[in-house]
Amino acid sequence: MVQGPLESTTCRDVILPALRAAGWTEDQIVEQYPLQNRDSEHAMRQAKGRPRVADYVLEVDGVPVAVVEAKRGYRSAADGMGQAIDYAVRLDVPFAFASNGGDVLLHDRNAGTETRVASFPGPDEMWAAYAAGRGLGTRGEVASRVPCNRVLRSHGGREVKVPRYYQRTAINRTIGAIGAGRTRVLLLMATGTGKTFTALQLVHKLREASRRLDEGRTYRVLYLADRDLLVSTPMADFVAAFGREPVARLSKHSTSQSRDLYFATYQGLDGESAELGEGETPPSVFESLPRDFFSLVVVDECHRGSASSGSRWRGILDRFDAAVQVGLTATPKRDTNVDTYEYFGDPVYEYSLAQGIEDGYLAPYRVRRVILDVDAFGWEAEPGRLDVDGREIPEGIYATPDFERRLSLPDRTAAMADHLVGLLREHPGDRAVAFCVSAQHAYEMKAALLAADPDKTRNDPEWAVRIVGNEPDRARFLQAFTDPETDSPQVATTARLLSTGVDIEDLRFVVLCRPVGSMVEFKQIVGRGTRLYPPKGKQYFEVVDYVGASAKFRDPEFDGPLPAPRTELVVDGETFVTDEAEDPLGPVEQVGFLRVEEPDPEFRREAGGDLGGDGDGAGDDAGPSAAPVRILTVQGEAVRLLGERLQLIDPGTGRLTTLEYRAFVRDRVRSLFPSADDLRVAWKQAEARRELAAELDRRGVDVDLLAEHVRLTDADAFDVLSAVAWDLEPQTRRERAERVRIAHGEEIERLGAVAREVIDVLLDRYAQEGIGEVTLAALHVRPLSERGTVVELAEAFGGGPSIRSWVDDLQQWLYEDDKAS
């Protein structure tokens, strides 16, 4: 095998001295710069244990300007250039270097050249090229080199909260655009990727630059949004970072002009909430302020109507058009938000949901598609059928888009609730948000959930609550629901209020009880679950779809084109085969088999109050001038669950696989082992078992998830895999433990009393938890730790080697073939 110095040796002995010789100081050379979250199980699985980490990133006053990748001395420097360029693109830096300690290669992204250089350029030379390539100008240079705000802390206050690599890139791109003269700038960042924190650091840098350059001028900022939640939460973060003194809420009740950082809703500035007499014009707070009052306007969720030329609220942006205006959105360009892009221009930076999941900063998702018979086949009203109030129901077939809009089926809502409660029993402590058709439907869903688990409701009558605009206790419920350190409420039902602007870090289930026609809203709803929350073990979230809205995952506008594999679905013993383009679990046009979706009305742009907010009744999806919709109610209809399907992100494509999970696992297990006997041989050996578990994990097979999916949570992982891959009859762990006691009873009986007790405890622990408990580590914990020290327990077997041999034998005996026992 070819030997040579390690990369770390090349870094320490050659590259670092060369960088120092070029004038780079210790604080400008950042070693092992992360471009991936190493705490994310999904990201590490995709990276096969080798996360994206740049050997060196060179910074000037905290601004990355170059990436340096090292290779071992016997390798070519060119071998590291591809990786260096990839990292340079992600960090948006102009220079990528690769070196093996002898040669130094430079890829200049500004010039589009790649050359061999004798030495590294110095900080001044690189900064000059960086600034020139972006056309920063004086203000852009000064703002870029302002250090980030370091007041905010994370991990319980133990660490300074610093921007992630993509947040730095977004900040630097925005400053670059402003420095080059743009006055309207758009940032496109997926929900959960930290738009508010990015905006906070941007404000800090621009504000500090103004203090240095604009003596005597106050740099005022307006943070603007359409919902109170989108204002109050960022405002609290800004207070934590900048102190309370410069921060103020701006509304008709508070018009102070002595602060620097203002927060407001459109409604508050436009005076919509004022009590007006007949014929009176609402007072406009923004018109009382000078046109040049603000230097910067940050527009959160800017796709929600403000940029439309016909919008009343466009007048606010026009009033302060002397200010730089930065729009924040998570929504790519489409017909419904084209005004936003025409106003702000194309995004200067984009960071998508797929990128966030790949990098490990967002939780991956899986989709559980649940089919109820009335959604699959529709509900038919025969001539003369009356509702519960004696009103005649127009004859015809009613389908998913009609339910809870034209026709209410309480038994359907109850069926959803029963199924969801079953999921929650398997995931105690995990939170869920159920998105319902209306505020009334949200109430009925809450009531159905409480009724579905009466024991839980007796102990905690608020484990399921409704959070909508007209709920008197919504503020209290919301505060408790968004606190990850509490466990109640566990479920919130809503219509639209929680679809945006609410951080629920420990949210596990996003539940779709209504169709979602708007891709904008669909992405926002899915985004509620994307936060990782390691303290509760949240590494993924699940979309539970009762209505077919998850078909939007296959829309190219969600996150790029998706594959369209063949799918089989079994309903009552009959198999339906379809292409994904015409998925029977997705939308179809005709009434009949599995008609599940139609477009919802888009967000209301002109109505007062929260845009698209939850209304009082069933008609709150309609526009402000729509007539009330009469809803007919039918009770006593038996609603059955026909089936469900689980979809996951395929590690090979990074896309949502539409294969049934059994088939997904079967193919991957069989690709590793021709038969169950081959799997058994590997599984009996502890080291081979660990390697196999790691390999299955890399291939996207989560054995715990599989056991849950096939309802074998009390079986050994070997039995779960064998049952799915080869249709073998599984045994429970307790059955395996008892077989060992019977088949090897004579050997065990020859041991002394203490040793027999150890064996008995190990088998009991296996039956309860699994093979991971059959180790010497069990000697250190109760109850065995109370029976004696590790040395004393080992002596009961005749010493350390003997007890190790017994533990190895136990692990082998547990996986003996039936014929061998």
Q: Residue 317: phi, psi to the nearest 5?
A: -65, -40
Q: Which helix (H) or strand (E) holds 356?
A: helix 353-359
Q: Fill in the amino acid letter for 504.
A: I
**Class of 7-134 in CATH:** alpha beta
For residues 465 and 491, is the Cβ–Cβ distance under 8 A? yes
DSSP letters along 758-787, please? HHHHHHHHHHHH-GGGSSGGGGGSTTHHHH
For residue 310, the 8-state DSSP code is: T
Tell me the sheet residues that pair with 69: 98
Positions of the chain with pLDDT under 70: 1-10, 42-50, 73, 154-158, 253-255, 271-283, 305-313, 333-338, 501, 556-557, 559-629, 649-661, 818-821
What are the Cα distances from residue 651, in Å, to 61, 84, 564, 697? 38, 24, 16, 10
Q: Which of 350, 362, 524, 324 is nearest to 433 (CA)?
A: 524
The dotted CATH code for 142-275+282-351 is 3.40.50.300
477 neighbors 465 (Cβ within 8 angstroms): yes
| pLDDT value at residue 267 | 82
Cis-peptide, bond into residue 401, ω within 30° of zero = no
- How far apart CA 291 and CA 286 sit, in angstroms, is 9
H/E element, 2: none
Q: What tokens appear for 97 in the block? A: 């270097």
Residue of 642, 665, 684, 654 lying closest to 813 (CA atoms): 684
Across-strand partners of 408?
633
Token pair listed for 367: 């989709």
Cα 78 to Cα 106: distance, rounded to the nearest angstrom: 10
pLDDT at 569: 40
- Rounded to 5°, the CA angle 653-655-658 comes to 110
Q: Would you state the pLDDT for residue 311? A: 67
For residue 557, the model assigns a pLDDT of: 67
Q: How far apart are CA 167 and CA 369, in angstroms?
A: 34
Residue type, 668: R
Side-chain half-sphere of 813: how many Cα atoms within 13 Å?
A: 23
d(CA 5, CA 20): 21
Q: What's the pLDDT at 2? A: 43
pLDDT at 481: 94
Identify the CA nearest to 639 among candidates 410, 382, 442.
410
Angle at 64 between CA 62 and CA 69, to 5 degrees: 130
C-alpha span between 614 and 584 (Å, rounded) = 31
CA distance to 176, 491, 740, per residue, from 169 (Å): 10, 37, 59
Whether 108 and 114 have beta carbons less than 8 Å apart is answered as yes
User: Measured between alpha carbons, how far is residue 256 from residues 252, 266, 659 in Å?
Assistant: 10, 17, 59
Residue type, 343: Y
Radius of gyration of the chain (CA): 31
Residues 520, 341: Cα–Cα separation, whole Å: 14
pLDDT for res 560: 47
What are the CA-CA distances from residue 39 to residues 42, 360, 364, 450, 737 (Å)?
A: 9, 8, 13, 36, 35
- The CA distances from residue 660 to 393, 643, 665, 676, 713, in Å, are 39, 12, 9, 21, 19
Q: Give the 3-state secondary structure of residue 734.
A: helix
**663 three-class SS:** helix
How many CB atoms within 10 Å of residue 589?
Answer: 8
Among 443, 377, 789, residue whose Cα is nearest residue 593: 377
CA 436/CA 468 separation, integer angstroms: 10
**The pTM of the whole model exceeds 0.75:** no
CATH number at 363-561+628-641: 3.40.50.300
Residue 324 has φ and ψ, to the nearest 5°, of: -70, 135
> Packing angle between helix 165-179 and helix 137-144, nearest 10 degrees?
160
Do 717 and 734 form a contact (C-beta atoms < 8 A)?
no
Q: Read out DSSP for 17-33?
A: HHHHHTT--GGGEEEEE
Per-residue confidence (pLDDT) for residue 710, from 0 to 100: 80
Across the chain, how many H-helices and E-strands are there? Answer: 31, 29
pLDDT at 250: 86
Structure tokens at 286: 């923004």
**Distance between CA atoms of residues 161 and 596, nearest Å:** 44
